[in-house]
Structure 1
Amino acid sequence: MAHVDNLRRHFPAIRTVAYLNTGEFGALPDTAVSAMQEELRWQLEQGRLHDDWDTRFQQIRAEVREHLAVLLDAPPEAFALTDGATHAVNIALWGLPLRAGDEILYTDLEHPAVLLPLQILKQRRGVVLQKVPVATSEDQWLTQVQRLLTPRTRLLVIPHVAAATGQRLPVETLCELIHRHGGYCLVDGAQGAGAEPFSLAQSGVDLYAVSGRKWLCGPDGTGALYVAPTLQSVLDPTFIGPAALASPHAYTALGHHLAAETGQRFEYAASARVQWIGFHESLKFLRVHVGWDYAYTRIQGLSAHLFDQLLDFPNVQIVTPREARAGIVSFRLPHPSAEAFVAAADERSVHVQAVPNRNLIRVSCGFYNHEDDIERLLAVLRSVR
């Protein structure tokens, strides 16, 4: 317990509340905020036209890719830095060579950040969307997907961990299935990256969207898209700008250009310097001071503890499968509504999330949480019961 107590000192936001909402916004470590403040102070006093301005920034971004590479077991050059997971999903969907009549399979668990781009893609390109019903086991997922596969299936879109229900999908098995069929797999990793150990190299994932602000405890406006090396020549850049070039002057006035040979070709602008410095510090803190193995063990242990405690409440319906979970545990009550419960919890300084369209209460157990935080949540449950 000494390690978590020491870590909690670096997260002021969790000191006075039971902060069980990492799946929406991870708490910022003080080291990240200090680095961001120092950068703003430097810009204020020194300006932004120094010779090493761009060099320093590119080094920060390169180190972010290195941290992501360690986290997700992939080469750093496979990552394109984005404004978040939504941005990454859009780059992936619009960059794939999809035409009218091509079919995309997606699950009944997708976040709006995935559903909305899919619908626009359908309207503009005429692709056909096929929804895969929710399954509870790996075999059921395979059966559901196989049933919908046709000669026109080109892409399978799935969440790593479902944002609403907290269900961890059998990503590796489903990727293998779609590859045997000749298609690609796009994974929304917003609720997976940083919540559990995951190897992109071993999973076979073609495209993986990362959110920086959730389990990675980074600032808003940070994220990444992993593009498998075998797919980098297939995916077209959705946006184009100087950041995508092989070198600063690799273009002509006629519009000819030489794109970077790495995932950087899918970036279009190198901006938001302060946020990227903060994200770099957050990743470094998690890797060096927290330790990924510790974070994963702590998250898994706390979510199991919460799950077991909820079983003592006969009126609680847990929707997260115990053996297929990461850091999120979702449940519903017959009364009150999820929104009313979250409001009641907030009054007691317990922060959780409501999923109104499913009437779910979503609890995200971060590595910095205490068992006391869970007990405070259970006390709210007892009071409303």
Structure 2
Amino acid sequence: MEPKERIYLDYAATSWPKPQTVIDAMMDSVTLMAGSPGRGTHGMSLQAGRVMNKARLTLSKLLGFGNPNDVAFAQNATMALNLAIKGLLQPGDHVITTMLEHNSVRRPLEFLKRTQGIEVDYVPVTMSGRINMEAVKKLFRAHTKLVIATHSSNLLGCILPVEELAQLAHEHGALMLVDGAQSVGNLPLHVERMGIDMLAFPGHKGLLGPQGTGGLYIHPEVQLEPQMHGGTGSQSEEPEQPNIRPDRYEAGTPNVPGIAGMAAGAEAILNIGVEQIYKHEWSLTQTIVENLQKLSGVKLLGPALGEPRTGIVSFILENQDPAQTAFQLDRKYGIAVRAGYHCTPLGHSQSQTTETGAVRVSVGYSTQEHEVETLIRAVAELSRG
């Protein structure tokens, strides 16, 4: 029998449902302004350009940086991270990162290790996701160029001390790159006050926008080598990519409808308040942790009850494959979650779930208390077999 209610608890992958303002902004972009920004002087092209500029301004307010042109739009956080990593590092550079990083960080680093001889140290974390800052200090070398850390683990939900890591990086002449895939729109964040030199983010998660959007904040003193070359609508007579921002990092016609939607999502977050969003998600995750930890046969991952975390709770049921658990939650109870390895194999090794993977529940601002209560009852029934 199909469940009467569909409960969506996979916000860490993609937020849903999208605010109506996001949908309306995208529809207006498609129906009212078909022009390409920066590629013409007719009314629709200029209007599309205004949408792009408004999006940059909104993001600068939300993320805490002064010049809106210091954000480069990308297809997703993965492309933004690739631009930051490959655009900065050179042969012989040394990088410090953590065992919690997504493959969007690890794979570019491993590629550069193999092809350019960069050196990488992965800092271990505890079972709950804590990092030993003293251990980090010992890893710095004369040629350490970059420190990379996820702001919040997409597996454990723990929140890493990126501000302290940034301070440590700067003391040693290195830069700080933060993966904000699970924090932008969910956690209070101010790149200038926190000392973040580069921040990669997706548009389709905490920003409440559509898939295929994202961006990279780049400190004004940081220069990256573009990873895409082509038309920008500026300095078209020159054979080289322009040096001006944001054109230098945005070759090709941009996804104006998607960026319009992402900007509308960011505006919605500004109106609600990031603090309020975090407070709501925190309350829901604490309810989940408090109740699931009481169940026999349930192993919870990440921070303990009462400790800081984003809206992510991962777990495994003894003697049951996480994929089977997720399948039953979907088909029997109408609850959408994610199961598997979550693109973070080193994170699974740190949480001792390499052999199993994990079920990941992730809440959002639109998640209701009764939906969490339904999840808890469902997991309780499954744990009893």
TM range (shorter): 0.7 to 0.9
| Residue of structure 2 aligned with 1:20, choices 1, 5, 9 | 9
Residue deviations 1:235-291 (CA, integer Å, cap 9, x gap): 222223343xxxx442435x256422x444322233222212222222223333x34
Partner of 1:35: 25
User: Is the Cα–Cα contact under 8 Å of residues 338 and 354 in structure 1 kept in the other structure?
Assistant: yes
Give the letter for the 1:367 counterpart: Y
Q: 1:138 to 1:53 in 2, by over 3 A?
A: same
How far apart are the structure 2 equivalents of 1:196 and 1:94? 27
| Residue of structure 2 aligned with 1:128, choices 119, 141, 163 | 119
Matches within 5 A, 1:346-385: 346-347=330-331, 348-356=333-341, 358=353, 359-385=357-383
Residue deviations 1:169-191 (CA, integer Å, cap 9, x gap): 11111111111111111111101
How far apart are the structure 2 equivalents of 1:174 and 1:192? 16
| Larger displacement relative to structure 2 (124-133 or 262-271) | 262-271
Give the letter for the 1:94 counterpart: K
Matches within 5 A, 1:288-303: 288=271, 290-303=272-285
How far apart are the structure 2 equivalents of 1:65 and 1:257? 21
Partner of 1:337: 321
Give the letter for the 1:354 counterpart: A
The size of the alignment, in residue pairs, is 359
Partner of 1:273: 256
Q: 1:182 to 1:349 in 2, by over 3 A?
A: same
Partner of 1:228: 219
Aligned-pair CA distance for 1:149: 2.1
Give the letter for the 2:250 counterpart: E
Partner of 1:219: 210
Aligned-pair CA distance for 1:293: 3.3
User: Is the Cα–Cα contact under 8 Å of residues 210 and 223 in structure 1 kept in the other structure?
Assistant: yes
Q: 1:346 to 1:217 in 2, by over 3 A?
A: same
How far apart are the structure 2 equivalents of 1:325 and 1:171? 14
User: Is the Cα–Cα contact under 8 Å of residues 107 and 134 in structure 1 kept in the other structure?
Assistant: yes
**Residue ranges of structure 2 left out of the alignment (5+ in a row):** 346-352
| Larger displacement relative to structure 2 (102-111 or 81-90) | 102-111
User: Is the Cα–Cα contact under 8 Å of residues 151 and 162 in structure 2 kept in the other structure?
Assistant: yes
How far apart are the structure 1 equivalents of 2:201 and 2:295? 35
Q: 1:152 to 1:279 in 2, by over 3 A?
A: same
Matches within 5 A, 1:107-186: 107-135=98-126, 140-186=131-177
Aligned alpha-carbon RMSD (Å): 2.5
How far apart are the structure 1 equivalents of 2:130 and 2:379? 35
Give the letter for the 2:85 counterpart: L
**Residue ranges of structure 1 left out of the alignment (5+ in a row):** 1-14
Determine helix, strand or coil for the equivalent of 1:196: coil
Q: 1:147 to 1:137 in 2, by over 3 A?
A: farther
Partner of 1:239: 228
How far apart are the structure 1 equivalents of 2:25 and 2:106? 35
Partner of 1:51: 42
Q: 1:295 to 1:51 in 2, by over 3 A?
A: same
Q: 1:109 to 1:330 in 2, by over 3 A?
A: same
How far apart are the structure 1 equivalents of 2:373 and 2:189? 29
User: Is the Cα–Cα contact under 8 Å of residues 157 and 312 in structure 2 kept in the other structure?
Assistant: yes
How far apart are the structure 2 equivalents of 1:292 and 1:367? 10
State the TM-score, normalized to the length of structure 2: 0.86
Q: 1:99 to 1:314 in 2, by over 3 A?
A: same
How far apart are the structure 1 equivalents of 2:247 and 2:303? 37
Q: 1:361 to 1:173 in 2, by over 3 A?
A: same
How far apart are the structure 2 equivalents of 1:132 and 1:279? 33
How far apart are the structure 1 equivalents of 2:373 and 2:130? 36
How far apart are the structure 2 equivalents of 1:257 and 1:365? 42
How far apart are the structure 2 equivalents of 1:198 and 1:89? 18
Identical amino acids, percent of aligned pairs: 29
Partner of 1:87: 79
How far apart are the structure 2 equivalents of 1:35 and 1:140? 41
How far apart are the structure 1 equivalents of 2:270 and 2:234? 35
How far apart are the structure 2 equivalents of 1:256 and 1:103? 29
Give the letter for the 1:131 counterpart: Y
| Larger displacement relative to structure 2 (297-306 or 130-139) | 130-139
User: Is the Cα–Cα contact under 8 Å of residues 209 and 225 in structure 1 kept in the other structure?
Assistant: yes
Structure (1/2) with the larger helix percentage: 1
State the TM-score, normalized to the length of structure 1: 0.86
Matches within 5 A, 1:246-257: 248-253=233-238, 255=239
Q: 1:343 to 1:206 in 2, by over 3 A?
A: same
